[in-house]
Structure 1
Amino acid sequence: MTALPGTTGRRRLYLMRHGHVDYFGKEIQAAGGDSRVVPLTPRGRKQAIAAGQALSHVKLDRALCSGVPRTRGTAELVLEMQDNPAPQLEVDEDLIEIHGGRFGQVKSRDDVARVMTLHFERAAEPGARMMEGGELFEEAQRRSVNVIKRLLAEPDWHTALIAAHEGINRLILSWAVGGGLAAASAFEQDTACINMIDFDMVPLENGQIGTEIARIIVKAVNVTPYNYVKHGMNMTSLESIFAKEPA
Structure 2
Amino acid sequence: MVFLPGTTGRRRIYLMRHGHVDYFSKEVVDSKDPRLARLTPQGIAQAQAAGEALSDIGFDIAISSGLRRTRETAEHVLNRQNVSAAQLEHDPRLEELHSGQYIEFESREQLAATMTFQFENAHEPNASFFDGGERFDVALERSVEAIRDLLSRPNWATALVVAHEGINRILLSWMCHADLNASASFEQDTGCINILDFDLIPDGDSNKIERRIIKSINLTPENYLKHGMNLRSLEAIFHRED
TM (norm. structure 2) is 0.97
Structure-2 residue corresponding to 1:87: 86
Q: For residues 102 and 178 of structure 2, what CA distance do their matches in structure 1 show?
A: 27
The count of residues paired between Structure 1 and Structure 2 equals 242
- Residue 193 of structure 1 and its aligned partner are, at CA, apart by 0.2
Root-mean-square deviation (CA, aligned residues, Å) is 1.3
| TM-superposition CA deviations, 1:186-244 (whole Å, max 9, x none) | 1010000000000000112xxx3321001011000000000000000000112111113
Alignment of 1:1-247 (within 5 A): 1-31=1-31, 33-101=32-100, 106-204=105-203, 208-245=204-241
- Residue 181 of structure 1 and its aligned partner are, at CA, apart by 0.8
| Unmatched tracts of structure 1, length 5 or more | none
Q: For residues 148 and 88 of structure 1, what CA distance do their matches in structure 2 show?
A: 18
The AA in structure 1 aligned to 2:50 is A
| Deviation >4 Å, runs of 4+ | 102-105
SS at match of 1:184: helix
TM (norm. structure 1) is 0.95
The AA in structure 2 aligned to 1:69 is R
Q: For residues 53 and 146 of structure 2, what CA distance do their matches in structure 1 show?
A: 25
Percent identical:
54
Q: For residues 231 and 244 of structure 1, what CA distance do their matches in structure 2 show?
A: 18
SS at match of 2:221: coil
- Residue 29 of structure 1 and its aligned partner are, at CA, apart by 2.1
- Residue 106 of structure 1 and its aligned partner are, at CA, apart by 2.7
Shift of the 9–243 alpha-carbon distance from structure 1 to 2, 3 Å rule, reads same
Q: For residues 103 and 220 of structure 2, what CA distance do their matches in structure 1 show?
A: 33
SS at match of 2:11: strand
Instruction: Decide whether the 8 Å contact of 1:103 with 1:115 is kept in 2.
Output: no
Q: For residues 17 and 53 of structure 1, what CA distance do their matches in structure 2 show?
A: 16
Q: For residues 129 and 214 of structure 2, what CA distance do their matches in structure 1 show?
A: 26
